[in-house]
A and B are shown apart, each in its own frame.
Chain A
Amino acid sequence: MSQTATPQAAPPPPATAPAPVPAATAPATPGQPGTSYVDTPALLNRWQLIGMSVAIVFGIVSALLQFAGWQSDGRAADDTEQLLRVQEVKTSLLRADALATNAFLKGGLEDPAQRKEYDDAIDGVLADIANAAEAQPADRRALAALNVEITDYATAVAQARDNNRQNYPIGAEYLSGASVELRAAALPILNELIKANQDRAEDAMAGQHPIWLFLLGLLVLVAFVWLNRELARHFRRRINKGIALAAIIVLAVTLVTVIGAWIRDSSNDSLRDGEFATAVHEANARTAGNDAKAYESLRLIKRGSGSTYESTWEAAAKTVDESGTRAASEWDAYTEVHRRIVELDNAGDWESARKEAIDESGEAFQPFDDATRAAVETNGTVATDDLRSGRWFALLLSGLTLLLGVGAAAAVARGIGERRREFS
């Protein structure tokens, strides 16, 4: 159905415009009727369609890439918050366990302040689980399983208390059983949650794609150069103004978005290796520290079982040491007290070891717990704030890119339209 026309059939060019070059450059060989002719208007239509489509696709894909980057930064912030939330759950649980075991070590009626601290820790855990389930649907199944374990733990501790208040030794057995079950059943779920959210946050931080934006821009520019060359071959114009304008738009958008994405990508890399990593390390240190503190009480509750619990204390302490925590001096102060407890206990002076654990150890541990908690909060807030900062600009640029893609398409249409007018 395409219209065919011989060059001779082409209308004369306007007086002011140079004559268009015939579309088919191969001259007809005499005696060879049926020489193929190119339908120039159809060709122009096709080029116009290709040029406009390339410009619009550029606008859409570039905008989508930026939108994905914008989304990715938001997800990274959300995932970081979720990671810190589940780490807080783990720390609070071990903190609660450390408080419960220490209360049993002391004997007699539980210190009301310590009891309140335990209750606050469990309340915080349950609230965090509810918030975490709302924040990340992918975590819901794991959080539901965790909820069951925590309910069992809290119930066992309550039974331990009830029996303890009646001076029944079964109370201590409920407590040690709860501690064992907490580590055997609840902590593995939390470890999976921490791993999943850390992976998600780190993946999302790598969600900026400057290379893709650059390659896309380059590809579109190559397409425009090709289009311009094809036009130049058929019309005596070296440069088509419309295509040139579209190319300039694409070049400018590509430069701005590539630089923007690159800056954002570098910033995310710095965050991942900086504040984010620090928040994760400090949270790991705090968790392991509280784990060690609970083991210290358990070794004394299970009187004389120091060798059993000391190896678990040392494993937890090694995690703190290797975490690179900035609260190392506070940790060292606590470990000094712990060493004294171990020396006393190993020398057979359990009474003095217990007194040291009740009177000195908790006091020595508190600064480490406070310092790591503050470091997690500060670095976590910086990381999430940074990931969320300037996102409006990225979204605006994404929308603008879409509009500029349409603008580039219009420029192509206008540029090729001029040729069509010249032809007709």
Chain B
Amino acid sequence: MIRARLLAATLAATAALTAACGYDATPLPKAEQSTTPAAPAASAPVECDNATQSYAPSNDKGAALKQLINKDRLVVGVSGDTYKMGFTDPTDGQLKGFDIAFAQAIGKALDIPVELRVISAADRIRMLDEGQIDMVARNMTVNCDRWTQVAFSAVYYNATQKVLVGLDDAAKYAGPGSLAGKRVCAPKGTTSVANIKEIEPDVDAVEAANHTSCLIKFQNSEVDAITGDDTVLAGLAAQDPYTAVPQQEKLTDEPYGLAFNKGDDALVKFANSVLDQMRADGRWKAIYDEWLKPTLKVDATPPAPQYGRQ
């Protein structure tokens, strides 16, 4: 009996010692619970008589310079990934494009260097409001709602909102109705998402950081279509031969303006005077022909400015 107990105790001790040799499997990190923020309550759209109406031009450079955050340079928020509009050229790392050319023109007229800052669409108003940038030249649509937060120059380009689809779907595309039940991508903080949902409520809207991220999602089969301004979509289509912007009616008008801080009316007036000069001396057309005509494949004329805002 004693022998059996001793044997059992010895075996138990052996088992206890050898049991210590095993390892627990390394845990995987816990998946973060997706915290989808509740959609903000839709506020009533701000109405106004003429959103595209800006302040009368003025060439008072001194007054404009006084309103800069830094007296020695113009800080401009631009896109770094919108091909042909505002993008980093992979060959030399320089920011180039249609919007960038307008920013450079304003800086040149002020006779100070331009500091370009790559910002997202969602950051445009916030960074102006926080005084981090003097101006936004980032395909920003002028509308009544935004006029309550920022000040716009006269319209420097009239874009329209359209839809980009896969090359195979381009021939079948018959307007927004074709997008019912489809996943359509647009950047956060833009008017595109609200516009497409208003026109076709059955669209499954997917947001991304910017339009280029939308194209990555499209290439990874995470979305079926992308909506945005025709200028932007043409740049996306130029980067992927398996996409197309089919012949279609425009969804909305998207007049672009340069945006400034709400109180910087002297800067806005000075910018309007520069834009006037660019329209008159052919620089506007030259910039358009260099950056947008090759992808949009149509001639364009500069939009007529509307002034009179008090």
Residues of A within 8 A of B (CB): 46, 49-50, 53, 57, 60-61, 64-65, 67-68, 71, 75, 104-108, 136-142, 145, 163-174, 177, 188-189, 191-193, 196-197, 200, 301-305, 348, 350, 354
Q: Which of A50, A64, A166, A354 contacts B13 (CB 8 A)?
A: A64
| Contact across chains for B92 and A142 when beta carbons are under 8 A apart | no
* Docked complex: B69-93 residues within 8 A CB-CB of A: 70, 72-73, 75, 77, 80-83, 87-93
| Contact across chains for B26 and A138 when beta carbons are under 8 A apart | yes
Residue of B nearest to A165 (CB): B90
| Contact across chains for B13 and A61 when beta carbons are under 8 A apart | yes
CA distance A177 to B212 in the complex (A): 11
| Contact across chains for B116 and A108 when beta carbons are under 8 A apart | no
- Interface residues of B toward A: which range? 35 or more
| Contact across chains for B93 and A164 when beta carbons are under 8 A apart | no
| Contact across chains for A192 and B26 when beta carbons are under 8 A apart | yes
| Contact across chains for A170 and B91 when beta carbons are under 8 A apart | no
Q: Which of B10, B23, B215 contacts A170 (CB 8 A)?
A: B215
| Contact across chains for B216 and A107 when beta carbons are under 8 A apart | no
Q: Which of A57, A107, A174, A303 contacts B116 (CB 8 A)?
A: A303
Please, which residues of chain A bring their CB within 8 A of the CB of B215? 170, 173
* Interface residues of chain A: helix, strand, loop or mixed (majority): helix
Q: Which of B6, B17, B216 contacts A173 (CB 8 A)?
A: B216
Please, which residues of chain B bring their CB within 8 A of the CB of A302? 80, 118
The answer to whether B210 has its CB under 8 Å from any CB of chain A is yes
Residue of B nearest to A302 (CB): B118
* Docked complex: B30-88 residues within 8 A CB-CB of A: 70, 72-73, 75, 77, 80-83, 87-88
The answer to whether B25 has its CB under 8 Å from any CB of chain A is yes
Please, which residues of chain B bring their CB within 8 A of the CB of A61? 10, 13
| Contact across chains for A167 and B81 when beta carbons are under 8 A apart | no
The answer to whether B113 has its CB under 8 Å from any CB of chain A is yes
Q: Which of B10, B14, B21, B90 contacts A171 (CB 8 A)?
A: B90
Q: Which of A136, A168, A192 contacts B23 (CB 8 A)?
A: A136
Q: Tell me how far the C-beta of A257 lies from the nearest C-beta in chain B, rounded to whole angstroms.
A: 15
| Contact across chains for A189 and B90 when beta carbons are under 8 A apart | no
CA distance A196 to B25 in the complex (A): 9
| Contact across chains for B90 and A164 when beta carbons are under 8 A apart | yes
Q: Tell me how far the C-beta of A288 lies from the nearest C-beta in chain B, rounded to whole angstroms.
A: 19
In the complex, given contacts A61-B10, A107-B90, what are 15 additional A-B residue pairs having Cβ atoms less than 8 angstroms apart? A50-B2, A60-B14, A61-B13, A65-B17, A107-B93, A138-B24, A142-B27, A168-B238, A169-B82, A169-B212, A169-B239, A170-B215, A172-B80, A192-B29, A304-B77
CA distance A137 to B89 in the complex (A): 47
Q: Tell me how far the C-beta of B173 lies from the nearest C-beta in chain A, rounded to whole angstroms.
A: 23
Residue of B nearest to A216 (CB): B13
Q: List 27 A-B contacts (CB under 8 A).
A: A53-B3, A53-B6, A57-B9, A64-B13, A64-B17, A68-B17, A68-B18, A71-B21, A104-B90, A107-B89, A139-B25, A139-B26, A142-B25, A142-B26, A167-B89, A168-B239, A169-B81, A169-B89, A170-B239, A172-B81, A172-B90, A173-B210, A173-B212, A174-B216, A192-B27, A193-B26, A304-B75
Known contacts A142-B28, A169-B83, A200-B23; decide if A303 and B216 are in contact (CB<8 Å).
no
- Taking each of B2, B27, B73, which has the highest tally of chain A beta carbons within 10 Å of its own beta carbon? B27
Number of A-B contacts (CB under 8 A): 139
* Interface residues of chain B: helix, strand, loop or mixed (majority): mixed
CA distance A136 to B75 in the complex (A): 54
- Taking each of B26, B116, B118, which has the highest tally of chain A beta carbons within 10 Å of its own beta carbon? B26
Known contacts A53-B2, A303-B116; decide if A141 and B28 are in contact (CB<8 Å).
yes
Known contacts A188-B29, A302-B80, A348-B113; decide if A108 and B239 are in contact (CB<8 Å).
no
Please, which residues of chain B bring their CB within 8 A of the CB of A139? 25-26
The answer to whether B119 has its CB under 8 Å from any CB of chain A is yes
| Contact across chains for A167 and B91 when beta carbons are under 8 A apart | yes
CA distance A339 to B215 in the complex (A): 36
CA distance A108 to B75 in the complex (A): 26
| Contact across chains for A191 and B29 when beta carbons are under 8 A apart | yes
Q: Tell me how far the C-beta of A21 lies from the nearest C-beta in chain B, rounded to whole angstroms.
A: 25
Q: Tell me how far the C-beta of A295 lies from the nearest C-beta in chain B, rounded to whole angstroms.
A: 15
| Contact across chains for A348 and B73 when beta carbons are under 8 A apart | yes
CA distance A189 to B30 in the complex (A): 10
Please, which residues of chain A bring their CB within 8 A of the CB of B23? 136-138, 200
CA distance A193 to B24 in the complex (A): 12
CA distance A119 to B212 in the complex (A): 26
The answer to whether B298 has its CB under 8 Å from any CB of chain A is no
| Contact across chains for A303 and B83 when beta carbons are under 8 A apart | no
| Contact across chains for B26 and A196 when beta carbons are under 8 A apart | yes
Query: Which 4 A-B pairs give the minimum distances between C-beta atoms?
Result: A304-B117, A107-B93, A348-B115, A188-B29
